[in-house]
Structure 1
Amino acid sequence: MDDIVLNLASDDAGPSRVSSKKGGRWTDRAKAKRGLKRKSGPEESATLPTPKRSRVQKPGKSHETALEKTVKPSRSTHTSHGQATAHTPQPRPQGQIISSLFSYNPKVELPSQPTPFKAPAKPSNAPLTDSSSFDGLGVDPLIGAHLSKKMEIEKPTAIQRAVLPAILRNPDVHRDIFIQSQTGSGKTLAFLIPIIQDLLPLSTLSYIDRSIGTLAIIIAPTRELAQQISEILEALLKMRLRPEDASADDPASARFTRWLVSGLLIGGNTRTHEKARLRKGLPIVVSTPGRLLDHLQHSESFNVGKCRWLVMDEADRLMDLGFEETITGILKGLEARRNLAIKAAEQGAGHEVGGWDWERRRRTILCSATMKEGVQNLAGTALDNPLLVKATESDAVDTKNPTVADADAQENYTPPAQLSQRYIVAPLKQRLVTLIALLRTLITSRTAEGTKIVVFFSCTDSVDFHWQLLGRAKMNDGEEAEEAVSDDDDEEEEEGKAASADSQIAMESSLLPGTSIYRLHGSLATQTRNQSLKQFSNNAAKSSILFSTSVASRGLDLPQVRAVVQYDLPTEGGAAEYVHRVGRTARAGKAGEAWSILTPSEQDWVKWVEGQMKPEKVGDTPPTLQGVTPESILQRGFGGKGAEYEARATDVQLTFERWALQKENLALAQQAFLSHMRAYATHPSTEKHIFHVRHLHLGHLAKAFALRDAPKSISGKGKSKKATDSHPPAKKRVNDAFLKRNKDTEARMEAVVRSQGRLTKKKGMMVSSGADEFQLAGGYNLEKMFNS
């Protein structure tokens, strides 16, 4: 009889498991229900159920924060065993089963109490505190004064102290430079200052103006990094061209002409506008590889015959994205343009009145945080007599460093010493609510100023889904959402919503009050990407969260980022990619936190990545990750007494699931689920013992995407017996819908890869080696995924 009553009490939560016993009329069940009410009393039956492990609360005034009130259990609240009560039963779609977040989860072997957090170590990438200055390193006084007074940079960093003397004090000795430094160390200024100091004195030559052509080229792997370097360069070029205390009549302090102008060449901009600027003359150019090669091959007005500097920033990322052939084409194009310019000068067709120093050849600088095989191959091709410079104490004093060829054993992944690295092992079903609780905890722990957080996902579809989920799902709107499941929305209205979502920059979430949420990935329009980064970086007074793929992991200097959350661990790049991601925080000596959310099957990753990371100095303690229990994060994020956080977390999960049940949102959630599965399958073979799709419970993973069932294209449900009998089990997971979506993905991938400058074919499909935004080729099938 009790079992029958319990089934009635959970009607609003979806169909319960039917008892195997037969019999029991409707009138018997109704009598039993009325009897239970008489025993419990009207007041007790009207109260919300208490989670199993919660303490009985005494009546009294409740002291809740504003964030806690946003997740107070609504009229339908589920206990830790998936039961729920409500004043009015709500109909559920046929076949939908709502499972509990806190039952049937694998055991997580973590200490019951969080490990005590270690005090932050002394910053390893902060500006030097000794007597070092830019003037003492050989920097021109004009540049040094501008750095200190206008850009508020008083002291050089360790890598700047090592690089600047090696370049500035030996201008006549030709040696190319290989700069190896950890992220956030200030290497951008390390190569920009020598370029400006070398080009500035050319103003004394009468024929020097913008028409001289391009004298310096800086290559960056992504548009965002190129944009950032361009902004720093423009800030440097605004310096005074005469000392403040100089007299206008003093010939020794002649004013330099302002002819140094920078330009940005990236995909997504108008090529005709870029050609017009190149025709006027751009002495310094910042570009992505594909667009630079395109102008070298097709723009006759691109005058690079006198190019004196070539910088390749984030060389390891250039190789990861498959730009090796593009870089080779750029090097050949620059050499060919130089030879043509020399022949023209010999024939008297040059425009220089006093001649040009053709004996001086181009100087190349290669910047990389790691020394992978591809980077060393590039260095062997592009660098002549290279000098390796690292930000260590010995390098700061002695610039006679080993060459790149002798540096094979110096591979090192070193995060900033002051960075706090932590991880959470959360069951698959709780991943989504754990992320929300963590974001709420990070935002509310600092109230004096806005908090900035970067969250990394594995693919673009996952970024778009979570961005819209947090921005559009509203608490306590469950009834309207449930009723909307059966309604057919107007197609024009859906298209209008999709169009507005593509152009929208920021979202506001009811779960994260006072916080703006932005997104960044390679499939967004260039204007949207730039606006997202600009608003995320510049709005210092308001808390901001950036959802991004690995496109934001390299080189970007996002100011005041307090924490980096890796919701999905890197699928490629291993420990190097992890170090680059967490390097978006704890920059230039500031403190920062790095959080990684793992599944129970990924716990071995912690020891693996700790073994890959090395201390900056010999004898120091190696970097470690500190474990934090998911219960403590949920408790802090959702508040409440005892285990009340379970009911609040369940209510948040149900809100997301109701939102995902709507027609236009369901497709978005399923697409994100499938893209995440394909991305997960691209972990290299050396990591398969940790990351393998067979370790994932698909039903629990679907819960993390606000789905109540795994998509049929993965689970194989809903097929006829004839279809399932005629194919092997692995092929059951592939259907026409999934293949159709792969064709759409291939078209998107082709457009992105073309903009990157490299396009190859594999098995008849257009693919890009190492592209973050498209983890698999269009023809990749799930049979290979599950059986590899």
Structure 2
Amino acid sequence: MPHLSSGQDHPQPSSGGTNRPHQVISSLFTSNPKLAQPHAKPLPKATSKPSNAPLDSSTFSGLGLSPLLVAHLESKMNILKPTSIQRAVLPALLTPSFPSDSESTTQALRDVFIQSQTGSGKTLSFLLPIIQDLLPLSSLSWIDRSVGTLAIIIAPTRELAKQISDVLETLLKMRLRSSESNPNDDDNDGDQGQDTVSTTPRMTRWLVSGLLTGGSTRTHEKARLRKGLPILVSTPGRLLDHLQHTSSFNVGKCRWLVLDEADRLMELGFEETITGILRALEGRRGLAVQAVKEGKSTEVVGMGGWNWEERRRTILCSATIREDVRKLAGVALVDPLVIKATESDSPTLANPSASSDLVPGTSTEKFTPPSQLSQKFVVVPLKLRLVALLALLRSLISQAQSQSQLRAGRGCKVIVFLSCTDSVDFHWKLFGGAGMGGDAEGDDAGAQSKGEVGEEGEGDPKEEEEVGEKVEVKSPLLPDTSIFRLHGSLPLQIRLASLRAFSSVPSSKPSKSNPKVTPTSACSILLCTSVASRGLDLPLVRAVIQYDLPTEGGATEYVHRVGRTARVGKGGEAWSFVGPSEEGWVPWVEGRMRGEAGGMGNAPAEKADGEGKEIKIEGVDVEKVLREGFGGKGKEYEERATEVQLAFERWVLKGKENAELARKAFTSHMRAYATHPSDEKHIFHIRHLHLGHLAKSFALRDAPSNFSGNHNNKGKKLPSGTKSKSHLSQSKSQFSSKVKAGLRTRKKVRDDSDDSGDPEAERRMKAAVRSQGRLLKKGGVMMSSGTDEFQIAGGSALEKLVNGR
């Protein structure tokens, strides 16, 4: 092997006198250009993460969230770890800064269908990706609020829209520069400090959120839209109204569209509204793109301009995948990813093109409440409903006051669901006005007027005049407790004030330095309809009471209601009041939550996901509830409950307004009860109710006249297999309609005849009434009405018979 030399090129002599071929060897270290010597600098530690290392899904940083957002969540919002649904959604929605190939880019820009339990943190799962996507635009000098609306979030109710808006505003208050940008300044807040060399670009605070809901003036909303709202939260009707009538509403560059609580959107009949919104967004975008191509737009085109090739991403959130939700997903989503999170903290990601999740009629719905939730039911006789509700409230408040949560300033909050708005108003005024001692406390019994209604300055002037309307009442029967109400018929400002006051943490007592501070009660009760069952994140809710079971939505609505407590891993209680004729509801709803097709609880019980528990609702004796609520020895609680009932009845009898309010609440409750769907009629039917006993639960001593008479006997069931019940109902309906026609005929005869006492006309009328009376039977036997036929011929007596009086 030839010897390698570092000298000049020359032939190497051979040993042994033998001449070998001439070889030229080039030196590696000669004739090289001079290079600048690098400065001696130690290598930084952990400059980057391994590209093939698995993600740490237990932290927000490991999921790829921006350090600015992570620091804000930890320091300002005290959120340290992501929930199960957030671990599943964030990797799919967070757009990578430098995708490795076109396939990853397409994967990152797909639409998403999010399904998870209530109270699992869905709001942050779509707000965080939206902010992270728009945050880099803050470093562009030509980006400001005039760019228009880039993200739209649609919520079904005003309360949920306001709640999302509040969370969004909190997130947008984050620092725009991390503390690592100035290592020499330990107290750097991101906005102060000397001009130092920083690797992070300066960002402008242009991201502003807006809220569009019915109740605010359109003029004020149009002014804000004209100025620019990059992120917008709105209800469907208000959004479509501005898309159709506000020309300055710039949505041509919209990058995100979120449909939150899609199942509730469909229940409230927003299908056509959502379709109109989708068409309007596509139309506005098409016009903007056409204007840019034709050079009629002032937008920046070319390098550094807006990327018009990037499509809008749509996110649909729903707790259930029902038929109507699948239909909406087919219209709004393009090639979506279906993301679910189970109780076992193992999120799943499915592609609907390879699964049947979004194919109509191919999946069995299984919708369960949180596993840590304690579910209980009480079978309550109808006449004891009102006192049993008060006893349960007193018991829950007493338990909370004996525990450490009140001493820690956390308070005790209870939500009571009722069937209709009139019932909410009645119970709210009843608890606030009735008292012990023989007389009602009056309208000023502990009632407070909230002056903060409309304090944001964005309400309608007409509604701001209602500042004096009461938001909070107190009852001597529920000491140290504030009572609020919430339903869809209240003015928007009153609704928001009630939610704000109910959600507030108990305040301290007035001090000498600040005597104007009004102490907030340690416990709060919210009387509401199903308007508060979806999406609302009300903190520190100890228990949910379903005083009236859901009239629509079945097991799904039940789970949504009880989901207001036991949120994000915390505990809670759910109580349901069940009537004697409604005991079949318990196995029915248990079967539905287990995913059984029949929903009647006949199939073997399945285990809840990840917990190994049966979905079971525990029964509690009503006597135990009354005894714990009213106390006493032996049967003393019965006497105390009677005194409370008499106090409520005295309040109703105190004035005509109170009595009318009670009768109106009773009537509205009956109408709501009759709206149960056909597959629940075997459990909820008006003929199973004893209306006289039910009237006692509205502090009425008798049922209203329009529900008295024949209906009062409906509590007595006929033997099973008797066919006369349906025949009797049909015959009575035919009899009423035909007799009413006879009344109109009699009136016409009198009007057409000169002599109103024509004996021939009277004879024909009597014969017609007698012939129709043969249709009225009871138990297959002709029934006598006990009324003389000549009395029937009289108009007033006949009308009484028709009306059942």
Matched, 1:413 2:395: no
* Cα pair 1:166 1:399 within 8 Å, conserved: no
Report what 1:632 is aligned to: 624
Structure 2 counterpart of 1:589, from 562, 569, 575 = 569
> Per-residue deviation at 1:545?
0.1
One-letter amino acid of the structure 2 residue matched with residue 563 of structure 1: A
One-letter amino acid of the structure 2 residue matched with residue 672 of structure 1: A
Which secondary structure state, in structure 2, belongs to the residue aligned with residue 184 of structure 1? coil
> Per-residue deviation at 1:312?
0.2
> Per-residue deviation at 1:402?
3.7
Report what 1:566 is aligned to: 546
Matches within 5 A, 1:366-405: 366-392=316-342, 399-403=349-353
One-letter amino acid of the structure 2 residue matched with residue 602 of structure 1: E
Which secondary structure state, in structure 2, belongs to the residue aligned with residue 568 of structure 1? coil
Matches within 5 A, 1:423-434: 423-434=377-388
Which secondary structure state, in structure 2, belongs to the residue aligned with residue 137 of structure 1? coil
Q: Cα deviations across residues 342-385 of structure 1 (Å, max 9, x unaligned)?
A: 01111223333342111001000000000000000000000000
Which secondary structure state, in structure 1, belongs to the residue aligned with residue 637 of structure 2? helix
Question: How far apart, CA to CA, are the structure 1 residues paired with 2:136 and 2:263?
Answer: 33
Report what 2:693 is aligned to: 700
Question: How far apart, CA to CA, are the structure 1 residues paired with 2:710 and 2:322?
Answer: 44
> Per-residue deviation at 1:732?
7.8
One-letter amino acid of the structure 2 residue matched with residue 694 of structure 1: R
Report what 1:674 is aligned to: 667
Report what 1:112 is aligned to: none
Q: Cα deviations across residues 276-319 of structure 1 (Å, max 9, x unaligned)?
A: 00000000000000000000000111100000000000000000
One-letter amino acid of the structure 2 residue matched with residue 635 of structure 1: R
Question: How far apart, CA to CA, are the structure 1 residues paired with 2:63 and 2:95?
Answer: 8
Report what 1:539 is aligned to: 505
* Cα pair 1:681 1:785 within 8 Å, conserved: no
Which secondary structure state, in structure 1, belongs to the residue aligned with residue 363 of structure 2? helix
Report what 1:506 is aligned to: 472
Matched, 1:168 2:94: yes
Report what 1:221 is aligned to: 156
Q: Cα deviations across residues 91-117 of structure 1 (Å, max 9, x unaligned)?
A: xxxxxxxxxxxxxxxxxxxxxxxxxxx
Report what 2:145 is aligned to: 210
One-letter amino acid of the structure 2 residue matched with residue 172 of structure 1: T
Matched, 1:469 2:430: yes
One-letter amino acid of the structure 2 residue matched with residue 216 of structure 1: A
Seen in structure 2, the aligned counterparts of structure 1 residues 395 and 327 have a Cα distance that, compared at 3 Å, is: farther
* Cα pair 2:343 2:611 within 8 Å, conserved: no
Question: How far apart, CA to CA, are the structure 2 residues paired with 1:132 and 1:140?
Answer: 15
Which secondary structure state, in structure 2, belongs to the residue aligned with residue 302 of structure 1? coil
Seen in structure 2, the aligned counterparts of structure 1 residues 275 and 404 have a Cα distance that, compared at 3 Å, is: farther
Matches within 5 A, 1:671-750: 671-716=664-709, 728=732
Question: How far apart, CA to CA, are the structure 2 residues paired with 1:644 and 1:602?
Answer: 28
Q: Cα deviations across residues 196-226 of structure 1 (Å, max 9, x unaligned)?
A: 0000101222211000000000000000000
Number of matched pairs: 584
Question: How far apart, CA to CA, are the structure 1 residues paired with 2:634 and 2:685?
Answer: 36
> Per-residue deviation at 1:396?
5.0
Which secondary structure state, in structure 2, belongs to the residue aligned with residue 389 of structure 1? strand
Which secondary structure state, in structure 2, belongs to the residue aligned with residue 507 of structure 1? strand
Q: Which has the higher contact order (CA 8 A, sep 6+)?
A: 1
> Per-residue deviation at 1:621?
2.2
Seen in structure 2, the aligned counterparts of structure 1 residues 397 and 600 have a Cα distance that, compared at 3 Å, is: closer
Question: How far apart, CA to CA, are the structure 1 residues paired with 2:353 and 2:696?
Answer: 52
> Per-residue deviation at 1:503?
1.8
Report what 1:283 is aligned to: 230
Which secondary structure state, in structure 2, belongs to the residue aligned with residue 627 of structure 1? strand
Question: How far apart, CA to CA, are the structure 1 residues paired with 2:264 and 2:229?
Answer: 26
One-letter amino acid of the structure 2 residue matched with residue 671 of structure 1: K
Matches within 5 A, 1:134-213: 134-168=60-94, 172-173=105-106, 174-213=109-148
Q: Cα deviations across residues 402-441 of structure 1 (Å, max 9, x unaligned)?
A: 4597114152211001000000001000000000000000
Structure 1 counterpart of 2:645, from 633, 648, 653 = 653
Report what 1:775 is aligned to: none
Seen in structure 2, the aligned counterparts of structure 1 residues 131 and 275 have a Cα distance that, compared at 3 Å, is: closer
Structure 2 counterpart of 1:530, from 496, 501, 523 = 496
* Cα pair 2:434 2:440 within 8 Å, conserved: no
Question: How far apart, CA to CA, are the structure 2 residues paired with 1:314 and 1:297?
Answer: 24
> Per-residue deviation at 1:619?
7.8
Matched, 1:609 2:589: yes
Question: How far apart, CA to CA, are the structure 2 residues paired with 1:215 and 1:275?
Answer: 17
Seen in structure 2, the aligned counterparts of structure 1 residues 373 and 165 have a Cα distance that, compared at 3 Å, is: same
Which secondary structure state, in structure 2, belongs to the residue aligned with residue 505 of structure 1? strand
* Cα pair 2:84 2:347 within 8 Å, conserved: no
One-letter amino acid of the structure 1 residue matched with residue 59 of structure 2: S
Percent of aligned positions that are identical: 65
One-letter amino acid of the structure 2 residue matched with residue 262 of structure 1: S
Question: How far apart, CA to CA, are the structure 1 residues paired with 2:479 and 2:432?
Answer: 11
Question: How far apart, CA to CA, are the structure 2 residues paired with 1:730 and 1:612?
Answer: 38
Matches within 5 A, 1:227-238: 227-238=162-173
One-letter amino acid of the structure 2 residue matched with residue 470 of structure 1: F
> Per-residue deviation at 1:649?
0.2
Matched, 1:261 2:208: yes
Seen in structure 2, the aligned counterparts of structure 1 residues 785 and 161 have a Cα distance that, compared at 3 Å, is: farther
Question: How far apart, CA to CA, are the structure 2 residues paired with 1:731 and 1:638?
Answer: 49
Which secondary structure state, in structure 1, belongs to the residue aligned with residue 482 of structure 2? strand
Matched, 1:335 2:289: no
* Cα pair 1:613 1:622 within 8 Å, conserved: no
* Cα pair 1:453 1:562 within 8 Å, conserved: yes
TM-score normalised by the chain length of structure 2: 0.70
Structure 1 ranges of 4+ moved more than 6 A: 499-502, 729-733, 783-786
Seen in structure 2, the aligned counterparts of structure 1 residues 731 and 168 have a Cα distance that, compared at 3 Å, is: farther
Q: Cα deviations across residues 691-733 of structure 1 (Å, max 9, x unaligned)?
A: 0000000100000000001000111599xxxxxxxx9479989
Question: How far apart, CA to CA, are the structure 1 residues paired with 2:441 and 2:733?
Answer: 40
Which secondary structure state, in structure 2, belongs to the residue aligned with residue 278 of structure 1? helix
Question: How far apart, CA to CA, are the structure 2 residues paired with 1:511 and 1:392?
Answer: 42
Question: How far apart, CA to CA, are the structure 1 residues paired with 2:436 and 2:637?
Answer: 16
Question: How far apart, CA to CA, are the structure 1 residues paired with 2:803 and 2:243?
Answer: 41
Report what 1:359 is aligned to: 309
Question: How far apart, CA to CA, are the structure 1 residues paired with 2:734 and 2:645?
Answer: 31
Report what 2:252 is aligned to: 305
Q: Structure 2, unaligned stretches of length 5 or more?
A: 1-55, 97-103, 183-194, 443-464, 508-521, 595-606, 712-730, 741-800
Report what 1:25 is aligned to: none
Report what 1:555 is aligned to: 535
Question: How far apart, CA to CA, are the structure 2 residues paired with 1:464 and 1:344?
Answer: 54
Seen in structure 2, the aligned counterparts of structure 1 residues 302 and 784 have a Cα distance that, compared at 3 Å, is: farther
Question: How far apart, CA to CA, are the structure 2 residues paired with 1:699 and 1:400?
Answer: 54
> Per-residue deviation at 1:500?
8.4
> Per-residue deviation at 1:249?
3.3
Q: Cα deviations across residues 218-264 of structure 1 (Å, max 9, x unaligned)?
A: 00000000000000000000000001121353352112110000000
* Cα pair 1:678 1:785 within 8 Å, conserved: no
Identify which range, 330-339 or 405-414, moves more after superposition.
Answer: 405-414
One-letter amino acid of the structure 2 residue matched with residue 441 of structure 1: S
Report what 1:347 is aligned to: 294
